[in-house]
């Protein structure tokens, strides 16, 4: 057998060996993957039965850093344009006053703007006369109303804002609603307290049962806050004559959270 034939034979054998090795490697890989999938499927369809579930409650009390105050102005006139002009003039004056109390323009927004027809209805029919089944009401004018909300960051100025708006004879003032501008810190602190309490309860329960805690297999959370905002209102002629700034303490906001944790036990 010449050298070329030998080289060809060796090359052919090497290729067969390599192909066989590749097939074996692929088969082992697929077998391992199949076993892994079967294990995961078994875990999913047969969750751990040796578990305990505990719940925890948590609270966090924080001081508010903003106060929201809303006010409305409304005017009635024979035409929409006239009512709009009067309302815009009064609303702009109130907004400029609020800005003068160091409230940034970005913290002032319009919540609602409405135009409502005003109607008059025919007088009742005199006794003994036949009245038509339907009497068309007559439009006598239009009422334009604008509601504005201001976010006050300097809480020491809340009373002055309320008193000043009253002097401007706006028709309605609501607030202040004290809150955290970013409530995330309150919720996070309440949740951390709830988790701490749940873990302590789980450790105590495991000790009483004579078992050891394993990994966490489930977690649920609910949260909320109870700011209890103070409300203040002004409206009408008598109240708008007030000159003294009202005392409006901010108090504190309480945030709460409830968690449920499920542990494997062994």
- Residue of higher predicted confidence among 230 and 258: 258
The whole-chain average pLDDT of the chain stands at: 83
Domain ranges for the chain: 68-178
CATH number for the region 68-178 comes to 3.30.70.2970
Give one DSSP letter per residue of 60-97, joined into a string: EEE---EEEEEEEEEEEESSHHHHHHHHHHHHHHHHHH
- Residue of higher predicted confidence among 102 and 32: 102
Q: Is pLDDT of 261 > 60? A: yes
Query: Where are any strands of DSSP class E within 89-182?
Result: 108-120, 138-152, 172-179
The tens digit of pLDDT for each residue in 136-155 reads 788 999 999 999 999 999 99
Residue 187 near residue 255, CB atoms below 8 Å? yes
Sort residue 169 into left (φ over 0), alpha (ψ -120 to 50) or beta: left
Give one DSSP letter per residue of 204-242, joined into a string: HHHHHHT--EEEEEEEEEEEEEE-----EEE-STTGGG-
Lowest mean pLDDT among 34-48, 53-67, 181-195, 210-224: 34-48
With cut-offs at 50, 70 and 90, classify the pLDDT of residue 24.
confident
Cα–Cα separations (whole angstroms), residue 222 to 8, 56, 97, 188: 74, 11, 41, 12
Residue 117 near residue 142, CB atoms below 8 Å? yes
pTM for the model stands at 0.63
The tens digit of pLDDT for each residue in 190-228 reads 999 999 999 999 999 999 999 999 999 999 998 766 554
Residue 75 neighbours by CB distance under 10 Å: 21
User: How much is the pLDDT for 136?
Assistant: 79
Residue 104 neighbours by CB distance under 10 Å: 10
- Residue of higher predicted confidence among 17 and 185: 185
Mean pLDDT, residues 179-188 taken together: 90
Residue 227 near residue 64, CB atoms below 8 Å? yes
- How many CA within 13 A on the CB side of residue 68? 13
With cut-offs at 50, 70 and 90, classify the pLDDT of residue 174.
very high
User: How much is the pLDDT for 123?
Assistant: 72
């Amino acid at each position: 057998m010449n050298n070329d034939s030998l080289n060809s034979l060796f090359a052919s054998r090497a290729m067969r060996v390599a192909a066989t090795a590749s097939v074996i490697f692929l088969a082992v890989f697929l077998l391992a993957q199949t076993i892994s999938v079967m294990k995961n499927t078994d875990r999913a369809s047969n969750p751990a039965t040796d578990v305990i579930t505990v719940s925890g409650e948590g609270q966090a009390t924080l001081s508010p850093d903003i106060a929201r105050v809303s006010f409305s102005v409304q005017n009635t006139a024979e035409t929409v344009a006239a009512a709009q002009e009067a309302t815009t003039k009064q609303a702009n004056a109130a907004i400029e006053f609020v800005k003068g109390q160091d409230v940034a323009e970005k913290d002032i927004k319009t919540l609602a703007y409405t135009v409502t027809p005003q109607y008059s209805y025919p007088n009742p029919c005199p006794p003994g006369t036949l009245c038509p089944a339907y009497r068309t009401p007559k439009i006598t004018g239009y009422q334009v109303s604008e509601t504005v909300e201001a976010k006050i960051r300097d809480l020491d100025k809340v009373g002055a804002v309320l008193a000043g708006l009253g002097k401007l004879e706006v028709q309605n003032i609501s607030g202040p609603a004290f809150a955290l501008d970013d409530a995330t810190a309150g919720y996070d602190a309440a949740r951390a307290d709830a988790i701490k309490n749940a873990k302590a309860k789980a450790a105590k329960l495991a000790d009483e049962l004579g078992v050891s805690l394993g990994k966490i297999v489930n977690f649920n959370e609910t949260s909320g806050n109870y700011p209890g905002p103070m409300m203040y209102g002004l409206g009408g002629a008598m109240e708008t004559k007030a000159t003294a700034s009202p005392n409006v303490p901010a108090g504190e906001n309480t945030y709460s959270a409830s968690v449920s944790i499920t542990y494997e036990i062994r």
